[in-house]
Structure 1
Amino acid sequence: MTGQTTGQTTGQWQELGTPGGIEAYVHRPEGEVHGAVVVCSELYGVNPYLRGVCAELAGLGYVAVAPDFYWRNARRTELGYSAEEREAGLVLMRALDRDELVADAAEALAAATVLADGHGVAFVGTSMGGHIAVRAATELRFELAAVFYPGWLLTSGFPLVGPVPPLETAERIAANGVYLLGFCGELDHILPPEEWQQAERRLTEAGVGHELVTYAGARHGFAADRPADHDDAATADAWRRVHRALAERL
């Protein structure tokens, strides 16, 4: 295993199940464990930004488990934000398969459940990772999905979405007892206001416990560490809401 020191604790890569299978970057708290969070990345993989999110969650007492969803095609991917690296991420994202993602999410959930020390498990995801978290909620039982600007909730077109977008089967989220907390920017070009409003209606019709928040003037990627997209106020408010939901539901 290779470790990365962030603050007072160290995150490490470890296999989640079958030898040679999926790995995750796992960051454990130093003290008491209050639950576990499966942290799903955007298309840039488990990069320094995502590892920083894991460190912050560990600092709050949650075991952070960040799966390497690209493992079948590239191990331990961590991309920056240049045009070339974004294109490399898009190539990897387009190779993802819905059913394989669900299998990987199930392995991550199983590992997180063991690490949660009797508490609950949440999935937290940004962009592509938000989509993965919502898809996981249609197939698996856990306490909370907190998703930042998740794509393709009601539209298809990528193998990772499959022929049926996740909110077409939103009743499964309700049946699994997953509470959905979602964040989107008013100016999001990938998740426009009309689709976000449609997602709200679909969740309500399906009886899913949820709260969807829109931030005026914010763009897609507002919580990431890319200066062109980042919005301090929206990011701070969203993470306050996530922390409160984690404390209440795990």
Structure 2
Amino acid sequence: MSETVSISTLSGDDSFNAYLAAPIGEAKSAIVVIQEIFGVNEGIRQKCDSLADVGYLAIAPDLFWRLTPGVELDPDNEPNFQTALDLMGKFNQDAGIRDIEATIKHVRPMTSSGKVGAVGYCLGGRLAYMTAARTDVNATVGYYAVGLDDLLHEHNAISHPLMLHIASDDGFVNAETQAKMHEVLDRDPKITLYDYEGQDHGFATEFGKRRNEEAATLADSRTAEFFAEHLA
């Protein structure tokens, strides 16, 4: 079952929408699905639906609501892609993390275990890392996170497990940045990094030209095992 729900901001003076997919029966734990720069589009909703199919309460907050509510863009459409880049440039990431925190607080009472995880893609991968460092989320996964080189110092604030999937040929994350990520984060026992040789940004998207079936299946299986262990 899926529906659009309203979530109050942490300050309580406003609200934003989120796509919620619920499992059949009781949800032991929940996972916040953090959007790419393309909004809560069909691919992100499919991520939620798939998580609900295996028993999680899955929710994707509309993080661009302060700019343009209800953004749904196609990454394979060039004008859409340029619109997405423009939105990313205007997006307040600190406010986005507060909205993710509000989403975590919203769904935690809806679970029997009280545990909430988060998984993010692209911009959402970066926000997943920030969520791990700045909220009480129980376990977090980031796919092809962008721009982590200026956030690596925040790893000291991460208190729960984090997994990052890195595309070795990522057009938005150069080899130097990837090397820095390994240099700093490999030393932290709470953090696991996986490299996907020959893969470009977006290899685990649900739809479109960017998807690589083999790499996506491997990454998603690792994510499933990670959440099964840490959200049980």
| TM-score greater than 0.5 by the shorter chain | yes
Is 1:42 aligned to 2:36, yes or no?
Answer: yes
1:95-145 Cα shifts (integer Å, max 9, x gaps): 111321221121011012122222411110000001111111111112211
Aligned residues: 227
Distance 1:33 1:59, change over 3 A: same
TM-score normalised per structure 1: 0.86
2:139 to 135, 144, 148: 144
The answer to whether 1:103 aligns with 2:98 is: yes
Q: Which residue identity does 1:198 align to in structure 2?
A: K
Counterpart in the other structure of 1:135:
130
Task: Supply the distance in 1 between the matched residues of 2:179 and 2:207 (Cα, whole angstroms).
Answer: 26
Q: Which amino acid aligns with 2:203?
A: F
Q: What amino acid is the match of 1:234? A: A
Structure 1: state its 5+ residue gaps.
Answer: 1-8, 155-164
Q: State yes or no: 1:212 paired with 2:193.
A: yes
Structure 1 CA distance, aligned partners of 2:189 and 2:98?
Answer: 23
What amino acid maps onto 2:3 in structure 1?
Q
How far apart, CA to CA, are the structure 1 residues paired with 2:79 and 2:215? Answer: 28
Match of 1:32 in 2: 26
Q: 1:221-236 counterparts in 2 under 5 A? A: 221-225=202-206, 227-236=208-217
Give me the whole-angstrom Cα distance separating, in 1, the residues matched to 2:80 and 2:215: 26
Q: SS in structure 1 opposite 2:58? A: strand
Question: Over aligned residue pairs, what C-alpha RMSD do you find?
Answer: 1.6
- Between the aligned partners of 1:208 and 1:191, the Cα distance in structure 2 is 23
Normalised by the length of structure 2, the TM-score is 0.92
**8 Å contact kept, 1:180–1:208:** no
**Paired residue type of 2:153:** E
CA contact (8 A) 2:38 2:72 kept: yes
**Cα distance in 2, alignment partners of residues 105 and 137 from structure 1:** 11
Which amino acid letter does the alignment assign opposite residue 171 of structure 1?
Answer: N
Q: What are the residue-to-residue correspondences of 1:70-219 with 2, within 5 Å?
A: 70-81=64-75, 82-154=77-149, 165-173=150-158, 177-205=159-187, 207-219=188-200
Q: Distance in 1 between matches of 2:186 and 2:216?
A: 25
The answer (yes or no) to whether the contact 2:26–2:111 under 8 Å persists in 1 is no
Partners in 2 of 1:28 and 1:188 — Cα distance?
33
Identity of aligned residues (%): 26
User: Which has the higher mean CA deviation after the structures are superposed, 140-149 or 97-106?
Assistant: 97-106
Q: What is the CA–CA distance in structure 1 between the aligned matches of 2:107 and 2:146, rounded to whole Å? A: 24
Alpha-carbon offset, residue 16 of structure 1:
1.1
Query: After superposition, what is the alpha-carbon deviation per residue over 1:37-82, rounded to whole angstroms, capped at 9, x for unaligned?
Result: 0100110000001100000000011111101000011111111121
Q: Shift in Å at residue 20 of structure 1?
A: 4.3
Does the aligned pair in 2 maintain the 1:171–1:208 contact within 8 Å? no
Is contact 2:21–2:58 with CA below 8 Å preserved after alignment?
yes
**Residue 221 (structure 1) shift:** 0.6
Which residue type is aligned with residue 85 of structure 2? L
Contact 1:38 1:66 in 2 (8 A): yes
Report the Cα distance in structure 2 between the residues aligned to 1:19 and 1:97, rounded to whole angstroms: 18
Partner deviation per Cα, 1:164-186 (whole Å, 9 max, x = no partner): x322221011xxx2211111222
Equivalent position to 1:16, from 7, 32, 42? 7
8 Å Cα contact 2:47/2:206 also seen in 1: no
Task: Detail structure 1 runs of 4+ shifted over 3 Å in the superposition.
Answer: 225-228
* Cα distance, 1:192–1:116 mapped onto 2, change above 3 Å: farther
